[in-house]
Structure 1
Amino acid sequence: MKDDILNWIDNIQQIDGIPPKEIIAFNFGVFEDENGYSIYLVGSFEYDENDDDWACLELPAQVHRYFKLPNKFANVDWEHVLDAVSKVFKELQKEGEFDIPLFENAIAITTGFDDGDLIKIR
């Protein structure tokens, strides 16, 4: 799954280019739909480590901003999905995989379910 997520992020960067320097935070939102779980990526002009509402942004309209999680997650509880996803993102951060132009100005990278608490990756 880690390689697939890296390819997805690379694809976003190739299609969208480098975001404006004013985009200072990114959130990998996780959600459940009728086919299992997916992730989307949004950027924000603001960030508040004490208030997760900064990540309440309009969902992306572009299909390439969404990543369908593998089917093995389709019938597991959301806590397990969030744990697995956050571990992958933390590994990618630790390995330097987020040191790319897309995240160049990011003071924060988080993940979490839309109505839940965010987990800080950076």
Structure 2
Amino acid sequence: MKKNQIDSLKNVVKNWLIEIDKTEILPSDIIALSFNLYMPYGLELVGSKSYDEEDGDWACEEDFKPKQRKCPNFEVPYSLEWEEVLKIVVGILKELVTELSSTNLFSVKHIAAGFVDGDLIVIK
């Protein structure tokens, strides 16, 4: 993807997260967020009361499911390999963790991203 396409995708993800933060109350016992990619290239968010870096199954615990769980307008060319999509999303989320650090959503201790049923990449 070209830089302007990645910037556009970042804005889509950022706006989605800002909307969730404005309209949802993140329960105080949620300590981890998992950004799950799925085919054909969509992105969803769930939160968990547990976290185990050695066991990615923590991300299967959907203790927090925002009403707008799936990122709207998340458009990635189907021609991209899944590794490239994951790399792009991880890069975007790393930037947003800094940019949105004052949001309640990103006050959690742990954030990870990966494909559903795949290995997670720790972002925070």
Q: TM-score range by the shorter chain?
A: 0.7 to 0.9
- Which of the numbers 14, 31, 35 marks the counterpart of 2:22? 14
Q: How many residues align?
A: 114
- Which of the numbers 71, 75, 82 marks the counterpart of 1:70? 75
- Which of the numbers 66, 71, 79 marks the counterpart of 2:83? 79
Matched, 1:98 2:105: no
- Relative distance call for 1:118 and 1:60 in structure 2 (3 A) is same
**Whole-angstrom distance in 2 between the partners of 1:79 and 1:40:** 17
Matched, 1:30 2:37: yes
Instruction: Give the counterpart letter for 1:99 in structure 2.
Output: S
Matched, 1:110 2:118: no
**Whole-angstrom distance in 2 between the partners of 1:86 and 1:29:** 11
- Please name the residue that 2:10 is paired with: 2
Root-mean-square deviation (CA), in Å? 1.9
Q: Identity of counterpart residues, as a percentage? A: 39
**Whole-angstrom distance in 1 between the partners of 2:86 and 2:18:** 22
Instruction: Give the counterpart letter for 1:84 in structure 2.
Output: I
SS across alignment from 1:65: coil
Give the TM-score of the pair, scaled to structure 2: 0.82
SS across alignment from 2:39: strand
Give the TM-score of the pair, scaled to structure 1: 0.83
Q: What residue ranges of structure 2 are gaps of 5+ in the alignment?
A: 1-8
Q: Aligned-pair distance for 1:69? A: 2.3
**Whole-angstrom distance in 1 between the partners of 2:74 and 2:81:** 13
